[in-house]
Amino acid sequence: MLLPRIVLCSALLSSASAFAISNIESQRPGPPPEGWSGQLEFTASGKSGNVEENRYALGGRLAHKTGDNLVFAIVEAAEAKSLGTKTADDAFVHTRWMHEQTDRVTFEGFLQWQENAFANLVSRYLVGGGVRLQLLEEPDVYELAVGIGGFREWEETDLGTFNRSTDTWRINNYWSYRQSLNDQVNWYATAYYQPSAEDFDDYRVLFDTGLTVRLTGSLQLRVSYNLDHNSHPPRNLDATPPIDRAETNTQYATTFLYEF
């Protein structure tokens, strides 16, 4: 069966929700049993001394598999404070339906919502779908898949002196690779490219890679790195203070994952 073999149990709680694109490839539960299954995640980091900083992130995933159909939902939230001042506040919800048509073809549909106060993102809603094609596979060794589809995006950003609302169709393309290094360690890498169907100069790119290490039967450790690029980030130089977000952001994190 394609579905149990292609999905990878890691996660992007390490704050991919803070980015415009979220790597759902690293969120796919697997290999899921028939019926209900899930995962809980927790990330904590901090600094003391010259810099006082604390960051916490919580998340969970609940999945239900029946035959060739899988439905799962992901909920995440993160907050960070530096010297007593909040420096991060974001949340993310994603639901996805997958139907395994053949051993190499899976159809998908999804709904998504997210917000990020410190990226000027008031809200972002997505409705879309597509097809996932399994290109190469050696069971328990490596997997290479490509996704092709599209989605409708409704986004509202806070630009200080006004809020900007956009309504856009985007093309959704991704490449996903997973390599089993040994019985306990897996390496994954995913690249997304999401141009606007109306203006190809308006695009988003995400590169996400990491290692997952199985510590026990139910507990995993993940170390991840994310690079996110938005060709049209929030910008309003007339605001006070001026808003001029970077086009490219990077992040790394360590996360514990508990499966049930």
Domain annotation for the chain: domains and CATH numbers: 2-259 (2.40.128.130)
Model pLDDT, residue 259: 86
Give CA–CA dist 225/54, Å, rounded: 19
For residue 55, the model assigns a pLDDT of 77
The pLDDT of residue 78 is 87
What is the model's pLDDT at position 32?
Answer: 72
- Dihedral sign computed on CA atoms, order 43, 181, 1, 106: positive
CA distance 255 to 107: 30
Per-residue DSSP letters for 196-232? BSS-TTSEEEEEEEEEEEE-SSSEEEEEEEEEEEESS
CB 195 within 8 A of CB 232: no
Lookup result for tokens 């977000």:
245
Low-confidence ranges of the chain (pLDDT < 50): 1-20, 29
CA angle 199, 93, 200 (to 5 degrees): 10
